[in-house]
């Protein structure tokens, strides 16, 4: 008998049954993109470490420029030049200015920088300033970016390009991250042949191994592929025994529905326990969640589109759970271009293609049976029709969840 869960219940089971368990490791900043922080990152120093000019110009005391104009420039004595990469130790005296390049240090006593465009060198050691600079103009002060102790990135953050920039600025050359999860992938089915092989009548190519590998790698996991396993319980049993030694998560696909050849459930039961069998969703109902040695073993549906949605909706959150990752998934409102029916008591997930016209997003739904994986190619996201809803008419706004994850 299937013990069917709703999608929300599945997410709750993931949290209940699996705790963060991936150990910490230090990686160099150059290898940190896409890794999950296992500790919050606090600034250890001031960024910038000194007051800096944001323009090429002259460091001044703002008060010395008050009231100046094109007609009546303020005339200040040029008292030296700050060079890039060197400190500005000599305080700026009243009625004086110092030349400073963009990014250069601003001397003590100066509280503004006047852009070169509003100045004139008279050639006698004085500079004419034709525009008043209010205090703080064209400079950033020491610590404006961050000061020591400020939390810049939270634990669980999956590092993006922008984050790498911030870590570099703070001098964090080694980053504390969670070990990457190792995900084992097994495809089951007598009809499956490897991608590079021409299928004979009745055979199909193994889509799931390649697709799931891509999804898992995109999510930051390391993948071990165990290839195609024939529909024989002892072979599957053996493959799972090998995979459970090497992997943190095991994904089996195919053989998850209730049928004589569907050995996945029995094999998981023999080596551990089945947490539930069946999710009230379409596509994707025949899904098994199990636990062996405390590790998740997931029996995904064989239909590639169903396997895709189940993996996206539940395996990604599961991976995130194991590393304590904060999941960031975004939805956008979009106008549905065609009516989509649903009436089967299960949450229905429909892939869509997004286009933008005059500032409005339109979602064109994918039609087709769950086996048609090529229909999914090129799609941008999906929307969900709840189990108690009979469909969504064309013209209605739906909330489209984007596939792209950080």
Q: CA-CA distance, 189 to 203, in Å (whole number)?
A: 10
Q: How far is the CB of 206 from ligand AMP (least distance, A)?
A: 4
Complex with ligand AMP: residue 73 or 189, whichever CB lies closer: 189
Considering CB distances under 5 to 8 angstroms, the limit depending on partner class, which of ligand AMP, Mg ion, none binds residue 272? Answer: none
Q: How far is the CB of 254 from ligand AMP (least distance, A)?
A: 3
Considering CB distances under 5 to 8 angstroms, the limit depending on partner class, which of Mg ion, ligand AMP, none binds residue 192? Answer: ligand AMP
The side-by-side arrangement of strands in the sheet containing 288-292 is 222-229, 182-188, 249-253, 295-300, 288-292, 273-277
Closest residue to ligand AMP, judged by C-beta, is: 302
Q: How far is the CB of 46 from ligand AMP (least distance, A)?
A: 54
Q: Return the closest-CA partner of residue 287 out of 267, 266, 264, 320.
A: 264
Q: How far is the CB of 257 from Mg ion (least distance, A)?
A: 8
Q: Which stretch binds Mg ion (CB under 5 A): 28-36, 113-121, 188-196, 213-221?
A: 188-196
Q: Which of 254, 272, 284, 381 binds Mg ion (CB under 5 A)?
A: 254
Considering CB distances under 5 to 8 angstroms, the limit depending on partner class, which of Mg ion, ligand AMP, none binds residue 303? Answer: ligand AMP
Q: How far is the CB of 322 from ligand AMP (least distance, A)?
A: 24
Complex with ligand AMP: residue 163 or 206, whichever CB lies closer: 206
Residue 323 φ/ψ region, left for φ over 0, alpha for ψ in the -120 to 50 degree band, beta for the rest = alpha
Considering CB distances under 5 to 8 angstroms, the limit depending on partner class, which of Mg ion, ligand AMP, none binds residue 206? Answer: ligand AMP
Consecutive H or E run containing 24: strand 24-28
Complex with ligand AMP: residue 135 or 227, whichever CB lies closer: 227
Considering CB distances under 5 to 8 angstroms, the limit depending on partner class, which of Mg ion, ligand AMP, none binds residue 204? Answer: ligand AMP
Q: CA-CA distance, 191 to 207, in Å (whole number)?
A: 12
Count of beta carbons in the 10 Å neighbourhood of residue 265: 19
Number of residues that bind Mg ion (CB under 5 A): 4
Complex with ligand AMP: residue 167 or 249, whichever CB lies closer: 249
Consecutive H or E run containing 212: helix 207-218
Q: CA-CA distance, 1 to 23, in Å (whole number)?
A: 37
Q: Return the closest-CA partner of residue 42 out of 155, 185, 203, 159.
A: 155
Q: Cα 308 from chain centroid?
A: 18
Q: Which of 132, 156, 255, 278 binds Mg ion (CB under 5 A)?
A: 255
Query: CB-based burial of residue 388 (10 Å sphere; 0-12 exposed, 13-18 middle, 19+ buried)?
Result: exposed
How far CA 353 is from CA of 237, 382, 403, in Å, comes to 40, 9, 11
Q: How far is the CB of 55 from ligand AMP (least distance, A)?
A: 59
Q: CA-CA distance, 343 to 373, in Å (whole number)?
A: 22
Q: Return the closest-CA partner of residue 253 out of 275, 228, 233.
A: 228
Look at the alpha carbons of 290, 296, 297, 300 in this order and tell me if their dihedral is positive or negative: positive
Q: CA-CA distance, 159 to 163, in Å (whole number)?
A: 6
Q: How far is the CB of 188 from Mg ion (least distance, A)?
A: 6
Q: CA-CA distance, 48 to 86, in Å (whole number)?
A: 14
* Contact positions vs ligand AMP (CB under 6 A): 187, 189, 191-192, 204, 206-208, 253-257, 301-304, 371
Q: Which of 48, 189, 301, 381 binds Mg ion (CB under 5 A)?
A: 189
Site string for Mg ion, 295-314 (x = CB under 5 A): -------x------------
Complex with ligand AMP: residue 114 or 207, whichever CB lies closer: 207
Considering CB distances under 5 to 8 angstroms, the limit depending on partner class, which of ligand AMP, Mg ion, none binds residue 284? Answer: none
How far CA 238 is from CA of 2, 205, 213, 242, 244, in Å, comes to 25, 23, 21, 6, 10
Considering CB distances under 5 to 8 angstroms, the limit depending on partner class, which of Mg ion, ligand AMP, none binds residue 287? Answer: none
Q: How far is the CB of 231 from ligand AMP (least distance, A)?
A: 8
Q: CA-CA distance, 86 to 104, in Å (whole number)?
A: 8
Complex with Mg ion: residue 47 or 192, whichever CB lies closer: 192
Q: How far is the CB of 393 from ligand AMP (least distance, A)?
A: 31
Considering CB distances under 5 to 8 angstroms, the limit depending on partner class, which of ligand AMP, Mg ion, none binds residue 304? Answer: ligand AMP
Complex with ligand AMP: residue 221 or 228, whichever CB lies closer: 228
Q: How far is the CB of 300 from ligand AMP (least distance, A)?
A: 8
Binding site for Mg ion (CB under 5 A): 189, 254-255, 302
């Amino acid at each position: 008998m299937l013990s069917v869960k709703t999608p929300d219940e599945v997410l709750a089971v993931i949290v209940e049954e699996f705790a963060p368990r991936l150990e910490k490791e230090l990686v160099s900043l150059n290898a940190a993109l896409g890794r999950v922080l296992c500790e919050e990152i606090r600034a250890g120093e001031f960024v910038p470490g000194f007051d800096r000019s944001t323009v090429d110009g002259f460091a001044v005391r703002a008060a010395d420029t008050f009231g100046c104009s094109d007609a009546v420039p303020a005339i200040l004595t040029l008292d030296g030049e700050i060079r890039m990469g060197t400190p500005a130790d000599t305080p700026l005296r009243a009625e004086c200015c110092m030349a400073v390049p963009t990014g250069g240090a601003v001397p003590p006593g100066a509280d503004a920088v006047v852009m070169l465009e509003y100045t004139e060198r008279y050639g006698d050691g004085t500079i004419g300033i034709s525009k008043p600079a209010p205090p703080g103009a064209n400079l950033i002060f020491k610590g404006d970016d961050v000061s020591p102790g400020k939390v810049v990135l939270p634990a669980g953050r999956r590092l993006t390009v922008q984050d790498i920039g911030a870590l570099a600025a703070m001098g964090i050359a080694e980053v504390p991250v969670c070990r990457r999860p190792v995900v084992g992938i097994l495809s089951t089915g007598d009809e499956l042949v490897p991608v590079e092989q021409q299928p004979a009548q009745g055979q199909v190519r193994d889509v799931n191994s390649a697709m799931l590998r891509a999804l898992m790698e995109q999510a930051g996991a390391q993948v071990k592929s165990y290839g195609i396993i024939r529909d024989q319980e002892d072979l599957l049993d053996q493959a799972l025994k090998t995979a459970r030694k090497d992997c943190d998560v095991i994904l089996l696909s195919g053989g998850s529905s209730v049928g004589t050849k569907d050995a996945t459930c029995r094999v998981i039961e023999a080596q551990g326990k089945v947490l539930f069998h069946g999710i009230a969703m379409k596509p994707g109902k025949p899904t098994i969640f199990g636990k062996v040695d405390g590790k998740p073993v997931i029996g995904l549906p064989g239909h590639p589109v169903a396997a895709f949605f189940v993996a996206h909706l539940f395996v990604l959150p599961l991976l995130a759970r194991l590393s304590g990752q904060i999941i960031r998934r975004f939805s956008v409102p979009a106008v549905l271009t065609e009516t989509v029916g649903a009436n089967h008591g299960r949450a229905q997930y429909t892939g869509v293609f997004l286009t933008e016209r005059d500032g409005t997003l339109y979602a064109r739904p994918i039609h087709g049976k769950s086996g048609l994986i090529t229909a999914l190619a090129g799609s941008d996201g999906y929307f969900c029709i709840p189990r108690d809803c009979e469909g969504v008419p064309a013209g209605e706004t739906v909330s489209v969840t984007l596939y792209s994850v950080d």
